[in-house]
Structure 1
Protein backbone atom coordinates (compact mmCIF):
# COMPACT_ATOMS: atom_id res chain seq x y z
CA UNK A 1 0.00 0.00 0.00
CA UNK A 2 2.80 2.41 0.94
CA UNK A 3 4.61 1.62 -2.31
CA UNK A 4 1.57 2.28 -4.49
CA UNK A 5 0.99 5.65 -2.76
CA UNK A 6 4.61 6.62 -3.38
CA UNK A 7 4.30 5.57 -7.03
CA UNK A 8 1.06 7.53 -7.41
CA UNK A 9 2.64 10.64 -5.87
CA UNK A 10 5.65 10.37 -8.20
CA UNK A 11 3.47 9.96 -11.29
CA UNK A 12 1.34 12.95 -10.27
CA UNK A 13 4.45 15.09 -9.88
CA UNK A 14 5.82 14.04 -13.28
CA UNK A 15 2.47 14.66 -14.95
CA UNK A 16 2.34 18.23 -13.63
CA UNK A 17 5.91 19.11 -14.70
CA UNK A 18 5.06 20.35 -18.24
CA UNK A 19 2.63 22.90 -16.78
CA UNK A 20 5.44 24.44 -14.74
CA UNK A 21 7.67 24.79 -17.82
CA UNK A 22 5.31 27.07 -19.76
CA UNK A 23 6.29 30.72 -20.11
CA UNK A 24 4.10 33.68 -20.96
CA UNK A 25 5.50 36.98 -22.20
CA UNK A 26 3.43 40.04 -21.34
CA UNK A 27 3.92 43.77 -21.41
CA UNK A 28 5.45 46.13 -23.92
CA UNK A 29 8.94 46.07 -25.43
CA UNK A 30 11.67 47.82 -23.48
CA UNK A 31 11.98 51.57 -24.19
CA UNK A 32 15.51 51.05 -25.53
CA UNK A 33 14.51 48.14 -27.81
CA UNK A 34 16.00 48.24 -31.29
CA UNK A 35 13.61 48.92 -34.12
CA UNK A 36 13.23 46.27 -36.79
CA UNK A 37 15.20 48.54 -39.16
CA UNK A 38 18.20 48.27 -36.82
CA UNK A 39 17.82 44.67 -35.71
CA UNK A 40 17.14 43.13 -39.12
CA UNK A 41 13.53 42.24 -38.34
CA UNK A 42 11.49 40.87 -35.52
CA UNK A 43 12.51 37.55 -34.05
CA UNK A 44 9.57 37.13 -31.69
CA UNK A 45 6.33 35.80 -33.10
CA UNK A 46 4.18 37.11 -30.29
CA UNK A 47 5.12 40.79 -30.29
CA UNK A 48 4.56 43.45 -32.93
CA UNK A 49 7.50 45.63 -33.91
CA UNK A 50 8.48 48.82 -32.10
CA UNK A 51 8.32 51.01 -35.21
CA UNK A 52 4.85 52.49 -34.76
CA UNK A 53 4.83 56.23 -35.29
CA UNK A 54 3.72 58.26 -32.30
CA UNK A 55 1.14 60.82 -33.45
CA UNK A 56 2.18 63.14 -30.60
CA UNK A 57 5.84 63.12 -31.72
CA UNK A 58 6.13 64.09 -35.41
CA UNK A 59 9.78 63.01 -35.53
CA UNK A 60 8.72 59.36 -35.20
CA UNK A 61 6.40 59.35 -38.22
CA UNK A 62 9.14 58.11 -40.55
CA UNK A 63 10.03 55.16 -38.28
CA UNK A 64 7.24 52.97 -39.61
CA UNK A 65 8.55 53.34 -43.17
CA UNK A 66 11.35 50.92 -42.28
CA UNK A 67 9.24 48.30 -40.48
CA UNK A 68 9.46 44.83 -41.92
CA UNK A 69 6.08 43.32 -42.74
CA UNK A 70 6.09 39.54 -42.66
CA UNK A 71 4.07 37.21 -44.83
CA UNK A 72 1.77 34.74 -43.10
CA UNK A 73 -1.78 33.66 -42.41
CA UNK A 74 -3.42 36.87 -41.18
CA UNK A 75 -6.41 36.44 -38.87
CA UNK A 76 -7.03 40.17 -38.30
CA UNK A 77 -10.40 41.42 -39.49
CA UNK A 78 -10.70 44.64 -41.46
CA UNK A 79 -12.05 46.38 -38.33
CA UNK A 80 -9.10 45.17 -36.21
CA UNK A 81 -6.66 46.32 -38.90
CA UNK A 82 -8.36 49.73 -39.04
CA UNK A 83 -8.11 49.99 -35.23
CA UNK A 84 -4.37 49.16 -35.27
CA UNK A 85 -3.74 51.83 -37.89
CA UNK A 86 -5.76 54.38 -35.93
CA UNK A 87 -3.76 53.58 -32.77
CA UNK A 88 -0.56 54.18 -34.75
CA UNK A 89 -1.73 57.69 -35.64
CA UNK A 90 -3.09 57.17 -39.15
CA UNK A 91 -6.29 58.92 -40.21
CA UNK A 92 -8.71 58.71 -43.14
CA UNK A 93 -7.96 55.01 -43.65
CA UNK A 94 -9.41 53.66 -46.91
CA UNK A 95 -9.28 50.71 -49.26
CA UNK A 96 -8.09 48.05 -46.82
CA UNK A 97 -7.65 44.73 -48.60
CA UNK A 98 -5.71 41.63 -47.65
CA UNK A 99 -3.21 40.56 -50.33
CA UNK A 100 -2.23 37.01 -51.28
CA UNK A 101 0.66 37.12 -48.77
CA UNK A 102 -1.62 37.84 -45.80
CA UNK A 103 -0.76 41.54 -45.47
CA UNK A 104 -3.52 44.10 -45.12
CA UNK A 105 -2.81 47.09 -47.39
CA UNK A 106 -4.56 50.40 -47.86
CA UNK A 107 -4.31 54.17 -48.01
CA UNK A 108 -4.20 56.56 -45.07
CA UNK A 109 -3.14 60.03 -44.02
CA UNK A 110 -0.35 60.73 -41.52
CA UNK A 111 0.46 64.30 -40.48
CA UNK A 112 -1.57 65.60 -43.41
CA UNK A 113 0.30 63.51 -46.00
CA UNK A 114 -1.16 60.55 -47.90
CA UNK A 115 0.69 57.25 -47.37
CA UNK A 116 0.30 53.61 -48.32
CA UNK A 117 0.07 51.43 -45.21
CA UNK A 118 0.35 47.75 -44.36
CA UNK A 119 -0.38 45.50 -41.38
CA UNK A 120 1.01 41.97 -41.18
CA UNK A 121 -0.21 38.89 -39.29
CA UNK A 122 1.75 39.91 -36.18
CA UNK A 123 0.12 43.34 -36.07
CA UNK A 124 3.18 45.19 -37.38
CA UNK A 125 2.16 48.52 -38.89
CA UNK A 126 4.22 50.11 -41.65
CA UNK A 127 4.05 52.95 -44.14
CA UNK A 128 4.95 51.66 -47.59
Structure 2
Protein backbone atom coordinates (compact mmCIF):
# COMPACT_ATOMS: atom_id res chain seq x y z
CA UNK A 1 0.00 0.00 0.00
CA UNK A 2 2.85 2.36 0.87
CA UNK A 3 4.52 1.65 -2.50
CA UNK A 4 1.27 2.47 -4.32
CA UNK A 5 0.96 5.80 -2.52
CA UNK A 6 4.56 6.71 -3.32
CA UNK A 7 4.07 5.67 -6.95
CA UNK A 8 0.89 7.77 -7.21
CA UNK A 9 2.57 10.82 -5.70
CA UNK A 10 5.53 10.40 -8.04
CA UNK A 11 3.25 10.20 -11.09
CA UNK A 12 1.36 13.32 -10.03
CA UNK A 13 4.57 15.26 -9.52
CA UNK A 14 5.93 14.17 -12.92
CA UNK A 15 2.67 15.06 -14.66
CA UNK A 16 2.54 18.46 -12.97
CA UNK A 17 6.13 19.26 -13.95
CA UNK A 18 5.60 18.32 -17.59
CA UNK A 19 2.34 20.30 -17.72
CA UNK A 20 4.03 23.40 -16.27
CA UNK A 21 6.78 23.16 -18.90
CA UNK A 22 4.25 23.09 -21.72
CA UNK A 23 2.76 26.49 -20.80
CA UNK A 24 3.76 29.38 -23.03
CA UNK A 25 4.23 32.94 -21.76
CA UNK A 26 1.22 35.16 -22.30
CA UNK A 27 3.25 38.35 -22.76
CA UNK A 28 5.11 39.36 -25.87
CA UNK A 29 8.87 39.55 -25.58
CA UNK A 30 8.89 42.47 -28.05
CA UNK A 31 6.43 44.72 -26.22
CA UNK A 32 8.23 47.24 -23.99
CA UNK A 33 7.14 47.53 -20.36
CA UNK A 34 6.89 51.30 -20.70
CA UNK A 35 6.25 53.63 -23.59
CA UNK A 36 9.50 54.37 -25.39
CA UNK A 37 8.32 57.34 -27.42
CA UNK A 38 5.89 60.21 -27.27
CA UNK A 39 2.21 59.51 -27.77
CA UNK A 40 1.16 60.97 -31.14
CA UNK A 41 -2.25 61.78 -29.62
CA UNK A 42 -0.71 63.88 -26.84
CA UNK A 43 -1.63 65.77 -24.82
CA UNK A 44 -3.88 63.10 -23.33
CA UNK A 45 -6.59 64.14 -20.88
CA UNK A 46 -6.58 62.33 -17.55
CA UNK A 47 -5.91 62.59 -13.85
CA UNK A 48 -2.49 64.22 -13.56
CA UNK A 49 -0.30 63.45 -10.54
CA UNK A 50 2.58 65.79 -11.42
CA UNK A 51 3.05 68.67 -8.98
CA UNK A 52 3.63 72.13 -10.43
CA UNK A 53 7.37 71.86 -9.68
CA UNK A 54 7.57 68.41 -11.29
CA UNK A 55 5.66 69.64 -14.36
CA UNK A 56 8.01 72.59 -14.79
CA UNK A 57 11.04 70.36 -14.38
CA UNK A 58 9.71 67.83 -16.91
CA UNK A 59 9.06 70.59 -19.46
CA UNK A 60 12.56 71.98 -18.93
CA UNK A 61 14.05 68.49 -19.34
CA UNK A 62 12.35 68.39 -22.76
CA UNK A 63 14.49 71.38 -23.81
CA UNK A 64 12.21 74.31 -22.99
CA UNK A 65 13.38 77.41 -21.10
CA UNK A 66 11.67 80.32 -19.37
CA UNK A 67 8.55 78.31 -18.45
CA UNK A 68 5.86 80.78 -17.31
CA UNK A 69 2.14 80.77 -16.59
CA UNK A 70 2.08 77.07 -15.71
CA UNK A 71 -1.50 76.01 -14.93
CA UNK A 72 -3.31 72.69 -14.64
CA UNK A 73 -6.42 72.79 -16.87
CA UNK A 74 -9.75 71.01 -16.33
CA UNK A 75 -8.60 68.11 -18.54
CA UNK A 76 -5.63 67.32 -16.28
CA UNK A 77 -3.05 68.83 -18.66
CA UNK A 78 -0.37 71.24 -17.46
CA UNK A 79 -0.11 74.20 -19.88
CA UNK A 80 2.45 76.98 -20.00
CA UNK A 81 4.35 79.35 -22.22
CA UNK A 82 8.03 78.58 -22.79
CA UNK A 83 10.83 79.14 -25.26
CA UNK A 84 12.72 76.60 -27.32
CA UNK A 85 15.29 77.28 -30.00
CA UNK A 86 14.80 81.01 -29.40
CA UNK A 87 11.06 80.91 -30.12
CA UNK A 88 8.30 81.39 -27.55
CA UNK A 89 5.45 78.88 -27.78
CA UNK A 90 2.69 77.19 -25.83
CA UNK A 91 3.66 73.89 -24.25
CA UNK A 92 1.76 71.15 -22.42
CA UNK A 93 2.47 68.17 -20.18
CA UNK A 94 -0.10 65.38 -19.85
CA UNK A 95 -0.48 62.72 -17.17
CA UNK A 96 1.57 60.26 -19.25
CA UNK A 97 4.55 62.62 -19.19
CA UNK A 98 4.23 63.69 -22.83
CA UNK A 99 5.57 67.21 -23.41
CA UNK A 100 4.09 68.78 -26.53
CA UNK A 101 4.22 72.12 -28.25
CA UNK A 102 0.96 73.91 -29.00
CA UNK A 103 -0.04 73.76 -32.63
Normalising TM by the smaller chain, what interval?
0.5 to 0.7
TM-score by length of 1: 0.53
Q: Which 5+ residue runs of structure 1 have no aligned equivalent?
A: 27-44, 52-66
The equivalent residue for 1:58 is none
CA-atom RMSD in angstroms = 3.2
The equivalent residue for 1:31 is none
1:40-70 residue CA offsets vs partner (Å, 9 max, x unmatched): xxxxx8344178xxxxxxxxxxxxxxx6311
Structure ID, larger Rg:
2
Q: Which 5+ residue runs of structure 2 have no aligned equivalent?
A: 1-5
Task: Say if 1:2 and 1:81 are closer, same or farther in 2 by CA, change over 3 A.
Answer: farther
Kept in 2, the 8 Å contact 1:48–1:122? The answer is no
Question: What secondary structure sits across from 2:43 in the alignment?
Answer: coil
Judge which range, 69-78 or 86-95, deviates more.
Answer: 69-78
Higher strand residue share? 2
The equivalent residue for 1:7 is 12
Q: Report the Cα offset of residue 103 of structure 1.
A: 0.8
Aligned residues: 92
TM-score by length of 2: 0.63
Kept in 2, the 8 Å contact 1:97–1:104? The answer is yes
Instruction: Indicate which of 21, 25, 33 corresponds to 2:32.
Output: 25
Task: Say if 1:50 and 1:106 are closer, same or farther in 2 by CA, change over 3 A.
Answer: same
Q: Report the Cα offset of residue 122 of structure 1.
A: 1.6
The equivalent residue for 1:32 is none
